[in-house]
């Protein structure tokens, strides 16, 4: 009996009335439960069945069907390497669910996001406010009946556009909510996540409130942290996000599957290849497409080069935030070589959009292997150089060792994945535990910490070691690539991949496929599929839901930065302002990845 | 026609002051250029190579920078304390400049029967004067940070005060060994006493303590906490722009030269060079250049201290070292009977 069957049978045994249905689709198991049982089931899953982590919460809007909404909870058991999805159907006139934040603290941001974008209320959530959109927004944009707005045009020749009575979905700009100032102004956001919302009172307390960001040199983009400090010591740190929210998930619903690929490049702009890969994997899973070996190897190579490049930035910018500016320029110098490889392959240095469903857009160019090999040979010496600069530097050690300590339990509870989780001593890497794209054939280690608690220094060490392991993978993958020379780089399934140009002149069928693909795209069966990859920041998962048309019904992205950022209040409390920049750098968040 | 000696003295001092100030401002301007090249080399970058480049060196770059600074909009924060906000950069630069009044740059020369001293004033408490002026410099930063009405600036100013208090003591105590050996507070005397052996031979620890404390005093990395651009945006200088901002930087660079010249004067024999080759000023220039290079080298190699670590280092490491140095010096002097 497989793990998931054990889970299901134990669930049925414990809650005979709760399981409304179990649905299996493309290897994912979804358990449909009414919302009355949600908390009990979640508690049972967490405590008895060892589902330690809540990976994701999202919702689907099935307008005009009833029950209209599905709230999806995606749970992961690291111990059994099992995943299960809970689906709670909600009717359109009663959109309430109990909050699971008491069971899984990591649900906090996710529930706020669903509340923000779908208008589903989570009862007993400690702080149910909009997360990504400003407070003054009306409506919930991911609902299917949300009016599509337009920007009021400054100048136009079209009379229809200047009609004054035409409703504008864009409200007049209002100031974003303010968080206090010296002299006793009141916060709208509570500074703690666990305590009830108490207004911050500058007149009575000795603390100072600082708005760090959104334009601050070390918040890695447009993150705003409301800091309550006592002297220089952090009493509370509350991240405020959404400044880079561009509605990528909503935009994807209005593009064909293929045309949505470049959108996702813009999320995690340091790991664009991972976004492409995870999305392609999800659609391939939905369409049941096989990827030829050469394409898989190429994907692995490109992603590992990208992982090294991304970790270089993580380490370099972390060093810069702590004051060692020189390391940043070194890291960028090395990354330049990686970008040259990307440019050579796709023509773009960052936003590659090179992966396609079933393979690659093009075959790899001549000289690719040599370029990657040169990169591979260069990096170890350079990493040694960094370590000479940092590893024994007493200032660096004092600034990183013992800073932002957290345990594995805390990391799991807050849905932390990636190097941050491994630095807490959990050996968890999707490339090992749920291999995709042929990672099972490569020999590499998953670095993880052996200390009781993670800190900034551990994270740095894990990243450095991961780069070395990536180089090992690259070495093996390049050898594999040589063997597959001349083999196809994209699937021969003409439903998702266009036929080669030569075929069009001889084959009527190819012409039809080509025409269909470029005019309407393809139509996956109704249902949803989830695929995840190990991005440099953690588990990056795409949930692609199809309603049978040529455009996705919904694409939800489980981005690692989003979950990792939630830990900031927890891990930065009690340290200094100077540490906070190091802690933000340690979480290695990409704000595009957080806000989407 | 003979002039009143007093008038001659005043004119002489005025001329010397103008020469020193112009020299320092030029030195500041080109020091920024030098720093950019040194940094570029350390960080494997190219450095400025556009403005009036002669070969790889952009000789007009500082002038272009200065012009840009002058024509930038001078922004006043609405709630700033206008008076303090305006004079703060002036204090910073003023104190940096007046320190140079007592520094001897060259042995005295006699031209046409008229003796020229290459210092503006030979004060018998020159060293105390230098220390006093050095501690005044922090007022520029504190006032600037406090008057900007910005929380980052305020934190920067607070850090600066605490840092000054912690490092001022080590700074002074680091120099005491030299005083004990020389038996004089006048820099001219101290330099002349090093004609045979430089003080650094007897006082290596004193030099190290002084140099570290002085680096902290002028807020260079790894002690640049009042500015700390990754933490406090720009610390005390967050709200400053245009020429006022430039003045703060002018003060920082002139202070770099000042602490280098003090270190050279007190520990490396000032304008005294070995073997009698090269005129005095060249030696002093070389020594200053060495110290300035070390300052830059340190800046682009080390991460930044944290506030509390900095204090701990100042009180628990530097201060005991400085005191130990004094004790050892005293004992050795008594034993040797000097």
Contacts A577 to B, Cβ<8 Å: 155, 231-232
Is the Cβ of B174 closer than 8 Å to some Cβ of chain A?
no
Structural contact between residues A390 and A508, judged by C-beta atoms closer than 8 angstroms? no
Closest-CA residue in chain A for B312?
Answer: A398
Flag whether residue B46 sits within 8 Å of chain A, measured between CB atoms. Answer: no
The reply to whether A231 and A273 lie within a common domain is no
Q: How far is B317 from chain A (nearest CA, A)?
A: 14
Shared domain check, A89 and A175: no
- The residue of chain A nearest to residue B234, with distances taken between CA atoms, is A217
Residues A474 and A353 in one domain: yes
Q: Which residue has the higher pLDDT, A577 or A181?
A: A577
Length of chain A: 596
Chain B hits for A326, CB-CB cut-off 8 Å, are 42-43, 300-301
For position A570, what pLDDT does the model report?
84
In a domain, A473, yes or no: yes
Beta strands in A91-176 (DSSP E): 96-98, 121-123
Cβ pairs A/B, distance under 8 A: 79
Is A139 within the bounds of a domain? no
Are A217 and B233 an interchain contact pair (Cβ–Cβ within 8 Å)? yes
Mark yes or no for CB contact B230/A217 under 8 Å. Answer: yes
- In chain A, which residues have their Cβ closer than 8 Å to the Cβ of B300? 325-326
Long-range contacts made by residues A196-204, C-beta under 8 angstroms, separation at least 24? A196/A126, A197/A127, A200/A228
Per-residue pLDDT reduced to its tens digit, A237-281: 888 888 888 888 888 888 889 888 998 988 888 888 999 999 999
**A332 — contact with chain B (CB < 8 Å)?**
no
Nearest to A319 among B43, B303, B308 (CB): B303
d(CA A49, CA A77): 8
**With bands split at pLDDT 50, 70 and 90, how would you rate the model's confidence at A183?**
very low
Is omega for the bond preceding A64 within 30 degrees of 0, making it cis? yes
Q: Pick the residue with more confidence: B124 or A95? A: A95
Is A564 a domain residue? no
Chain A stretch 550-569, residues whose beta carbon is closer than 8 A to a beta carbon of chain B: none
Whether A565 is in a domain gets the answer: no
pLDDT in tens, A299-356: 999 999 999 999 999 999 888 888 888 888 999 999 999 999 999 998 888 888 899 8
DSSP letter assigned to residue A441: G
Residue A45 has pLDDT above 80, yes or no: yes
The residue that leads in pLDDT, B110 or A46, is A46
- Picking from A229, A323, A404 by the largest number of B CB atoms within 10 A of its own CB, the best residue to mutate is A323
Nearby residues of A468 by Cβ (< 8 Å), 6 or more positions away: A380, A383
Question: Are A176 and A253 found together in one domain?
Answer: no
Least confident of A180-184, A536-540, B26-30: A180-184
Cα–Cα distance between A1 and B301 in angstroms, integer?
59
How many domains would you assign to chain A? 3
Q: Is residue A422 part of a domain?
A: yes
Cα A367 to the center of its chain, rounded Å:
33
Same domain flag for A400 and A491: yes
Spacing of C-alpha B26 from chain mean position: 15
Interface of A with B in 179-208 (CB under 8 A): 182, 208
Instruction: State the Cα–Cα distance between residues A163 and A258, nearest whole angstrom.
Output: 36
Asked if B266 and B185 count as a contact pair (C-beta separation under 8 A), the reply is: no
Task: Read off the tokens for A79.
Answer: 């111990």
Q: What is the pTM of this model?
A: 0.85
> What DSSP line would sit under A375-435, residue for residue?
HHHHHHHHHHHHHHHHTT-HHHHHHHTTSS-B-HHHHHHTT--THHHHHTT----HHHHS-
Query: In order along chain B (338 residues), what is the average pLDDT of each group of 10 residues?
Result: 75 84 87 89 86 79 88 83 87 87 74 72 79 85 86 86 84 86 80 78 85 86 78 82 87 88 83 68 83 89 85 88 89 81
Give percent of chain A above pLDDT 90. Answer: 17
Q: Looking at CA atoms only, how far is residue B156 from chain A in angstroms?
A: 11
Q: What was the pLDDT predicted at A533?
A: 92
CB neighbourhood size of B338 (10 A): 9
Q: What is the mean pLDDT of chain A?
A: 83
Mutate to test the interface with B, among A378, A578, A583, A586 (most CBs of B within 10 A): A578
* Chain B residues in contact with A329 (beta carbon < 8 A): 43-45
Cβ contact A399–B230 (<8 Å) = no
| Model confidence band, residue A202 (pLDDT cutoffs 50, 70, 90) | very low
Contact A395 B302 (CB under 8 A): yes
Residue A79 maps to a domain: yes
What residues of chain A lie within 8 A of the CB of B231, using their CB?
Answer: 218, 577-578, 580-581
- Whole-angstrom CA distances from B249 to A189, B256, B318 are 39, 11, 27
d(CA B44, CA A454): 33
B280 in Cβ contact with B257 (< 8 Å):
no
In the stretch 94-153 of chain B, residues with CB closer than 8 A to chain A read 151-152
| Cα A463 to Cα A272: distance, rounded to the nearest angstrom | 18
The alpha carbon of residue A190 is apart from the nearest alpha carbon of chain B, in Å, by: 20
A19 and A67 part of one domain? yes
Which of A87, A102, A123 finishes a domain?
Answer: A123
Residues A441 and A512 in one domain: yes
Q: pLDDT value at position B170?
A: 87
CA distances, A367 to each of A345, A352, A363, A374 (Å): 10, 18, 12, 11
Q: Are residues A224 and A347 in the same domain?
A: no
**Nearest to residue A62, comparing CAs of A72, A76, A53, A50?**
A72
Q: Are residues A182 and A304 in the same domain?
A: no
A25: domain CATH number?
3.30.460.80
Contact A244, A591 (CB under 8 A): yes
Asked if residue A300 lies in contact with residue A484, where contact means CB atoms within 8 angstroms, the answer is no
| Domain identity same for A316 and A438 | yes
pLDDT digits (tens, 9 = 90+) for A342-394: 999 988 888 888 998 888 888 888 889 999 999 999 999 999 988 888 888 88
In angstroms, the separation between the Cα of residue B206 and the nearest Cα of chain A is 22
Q: What are phi and psi of B246, to 5 degrees?
A: -60, -35
A411 is in which domain, residue-wise?
A: 248-558
A394 near B CB under 8 A: no
The helix or strand, by DSSP H or E, that contains position A513, with its residue range, turns out to be helix A508-519
* Separation in Å, CA of B247 to nearest CA in chain A: 23
* Of A240, A269, A289, the domain-final residue: A240
**CATH value at residue A296:** 1.10.645.10
Query: What HEC string does A276-287 produce?
Result: HHHHHHHHHHHH
Of B159, B233, B309, the CB nearest to A216: B233
Q: Which of B152, B306, B307 to mutate to test the interface with A (most CBs of A within 10 A)?
A: B306
- Chain B's closest residue to A388, CA to CA, is B301
Question: Cβ contact (<8 Å) for B222 and A395?
Answer: yes
- Say whether A323 and B308 touch across the interface (CB within 8 A): no
Cβ <8 Å between A399 and B229: no
Do A301 and A354 belong together in one domain?
yes
**pLDDT for B163:** 84
Instruction: Give the residue among A537, A541, A521, A517 at the shortest CA–CA distance from A529.
Output: A541
Helix and strand totals (H; E) in chain B: 13, 4
Same domain, A84 and A205: no
Q: Do A323 and B151 count as a contact with CB atoms less than 8 A apart? A: no
Domain boundary among A240, A261, A295: A240
CB spacing of B230 vs A396 below 8 angstroms: no
B86 Cβ neighbours under 8 A, 6+ residues apart: B244
Residue A182 clears pLDDT 70, i.e. is over it: no
In angstroms, the first-to-last Cα distance of chain A is 40
Please, which residues 195-214 of chain B have a Cβ atom closer than 8 Å to chain A?
A: none
Amino acid A163: pLDDT: 60
Question: Is A137 domain-assigned?
Answer: no
Is residue A76 assigned to a domain?
yes
Q: So what's the ipTM on this one?
A: 0.83
């Amino acid at each position: 009996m497989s793990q998931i069957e054990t889970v299901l049978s134990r669930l049925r045994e414990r809650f005979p009335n709760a399981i409304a249905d179990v649905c299996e689709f493309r290897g994912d198991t979804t358990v449909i439960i009414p919302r009355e049982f949600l908390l009990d089931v979640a508690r049972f899953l967490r405590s008895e069945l060892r589902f330690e982590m809540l990976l994701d919460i999202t919702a689907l809007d099935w307008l005009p069907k009833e029950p209209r909404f599905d709230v999806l909870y995606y749970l992961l058991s690291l111990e059994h390497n099992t995943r299960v999805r809970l689906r709670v159907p909600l009717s359109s006139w009663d959109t309430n669910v109990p909050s699971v934040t008491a069971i899984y603290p990591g649900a906090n941001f996710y529930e706020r996001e669903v509340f923000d974008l779908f208008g589903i209320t989570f009862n007993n959530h400690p702080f149910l406010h909009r997360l990504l959109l400003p407070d003054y927004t009306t409506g919930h944009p991911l609902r299917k009946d949300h009016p599509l707005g337009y920007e009021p045009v400054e100048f136009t020749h079209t009379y229809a556009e200047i009609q004054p009575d035409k409703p504008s979905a864009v409200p007049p700009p209002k100031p974003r909510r303010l968080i206090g100032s010296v002299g006793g102004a009141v916060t709208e956001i509570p500074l703690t996540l666990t305590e009830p919302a108490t207004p911050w009172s500058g007149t009575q307390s000795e603390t100072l409130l600082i708005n760090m960001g959104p334009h601050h040199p070390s918040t890695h983009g447009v993150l705003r942290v409301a800091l309550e400090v006592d002297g220089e010591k952090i009493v509370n740190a509350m991240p405020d996000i959404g400044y880079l929210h561009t509605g990528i998930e909503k935009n994807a619903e209005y593009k064909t599957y293929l045309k949505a690929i470049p959108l996702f490049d813009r999320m995690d702009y340091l790991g664009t290849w991972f976004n492409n890969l995870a999305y392609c994997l999800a659609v391939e899973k939905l369409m049941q497409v096989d990827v030829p070996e050469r394409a898989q190897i190429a994907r692995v190579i490109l992603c590992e080069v990208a992982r090294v490049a991304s970790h270089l930035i993580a380490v370099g910018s972390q060093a810069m935030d702590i004051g060692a500016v020189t390391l940043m320029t070194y890291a960028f110098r090395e990354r330049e070589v990686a970008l040259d490889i990307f440019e050579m392959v796709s023509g773009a240095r960052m936003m590659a959009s090179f992966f396609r469903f079933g393979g690659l857009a093009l075959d790899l160019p001549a000289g690719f292997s040599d370029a990657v090999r040169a990169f591979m040979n260069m990096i170890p010496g350079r990493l040694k150089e960094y370590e000479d600069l940092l590893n024994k530097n007493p200032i660096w050690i004092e600034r990183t060792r013992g800073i932002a300590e957290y345990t594995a339990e805390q990391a799991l509870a807050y849905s932390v994945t990636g190097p941050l989780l491994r630095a807490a001593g959990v050996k968890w890497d999707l490339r090992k535990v749920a291999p995709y794209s042929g990672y099972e054939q490569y020999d590499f280690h998953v670095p993880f910490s052996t200390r009781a608690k993670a800190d900034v220094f551990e994270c740095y060490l894990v990243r450095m070691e991961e780069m070395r392991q990536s180089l090992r993978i690259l070495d093996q993958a390049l050898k594999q690539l040589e063997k597959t020379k001349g083999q196809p780089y994209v699937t021969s399934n003409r439903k998702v991949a266009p036929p080669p140009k030569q075929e069009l002149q001889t084959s009527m069928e190819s012409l039809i496929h080509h025409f269909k693909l470029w005019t309407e795209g393809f139509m996956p069966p109704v249902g949803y599929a989830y695929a995840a990859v190990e991005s440099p920041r953690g588990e990056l998962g795409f949930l692609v839901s199809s309603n049978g048309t040529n455009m996705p019904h919904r694409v939800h992205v489980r981005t690692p930065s989003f979950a990792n950022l939630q830990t900031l209040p927890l891990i930065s409390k009690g340290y200094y302002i100077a540490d906070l920049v190091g802690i933000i750098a340690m979480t290695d968040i990409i704000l595009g990845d957080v806000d989407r | 026609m003979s002039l009143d000696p007093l008038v001659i003295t005043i004119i002489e001092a005025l001329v010397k002051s103008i020469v020193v100030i112009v020299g320092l401002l030029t030195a500041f301007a080109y020091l920024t250029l030098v720093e950019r090249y040194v940094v570029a080399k350390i960080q494997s970058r190219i450095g400025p190579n556009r403005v009036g480049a002669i070969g790889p060196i952009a000789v007009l770059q500082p002038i272009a920078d200065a012009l840009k600074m002058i024509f930038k909009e001078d922004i006043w924060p609405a709630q700033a304390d206008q008076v303090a906000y305006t004079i703060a950069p002036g204090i910073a630069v003023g104190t940096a400049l007046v320190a140079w009044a007592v520094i001897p740059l060259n042995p005295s020369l006699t031209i046409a029967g008229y003796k020229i001293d290459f210092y503006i004033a030979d004060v018998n408490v020159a060293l105390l004067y230098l220390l006093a002026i050095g501690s005044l410099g922090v007022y520029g930063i504190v006032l600037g940070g406090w008057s900007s009405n910005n929380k980052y600036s305020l934190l920067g100013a607070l850090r600066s005060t605490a840092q000054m208090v912690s490092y001022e003591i080590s700074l002074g105590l680091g120099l005491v060994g030299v005083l004990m050996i020389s038996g004089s507070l006048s820099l001219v005397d101290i330099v002349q006493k090093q004609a045979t052996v430089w003080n650094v031979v007897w006082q290596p620890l004193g030099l190290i303590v002084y140099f570290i404390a002085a680096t902290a005093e002028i807020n260079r990395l790894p002690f640049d906490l009042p500015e700390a651009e990754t933490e406090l945006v720009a610390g005390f200088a967050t709200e400053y722009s245009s020429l006022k901002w430039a003045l703060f930087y002018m003060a920082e660079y002139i202070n770099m030269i000042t602490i280098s010249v003090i270190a050279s004067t007190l520990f490396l024999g000032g304008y005294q060079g070995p073997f009698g080759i090269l005129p005095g000023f060249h030696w002093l220039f070389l020594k200053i250049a060495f110290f300035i290079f070390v300052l830059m080298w340190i800046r682009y190699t080390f991460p930044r201290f944290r506030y509390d670590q900095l204090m701990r280092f100042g009180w628990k490491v530097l201060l005991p070292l400085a005191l130990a140095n004094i004790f050892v010096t005293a004992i050795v002097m008594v034993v040797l009977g000097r």
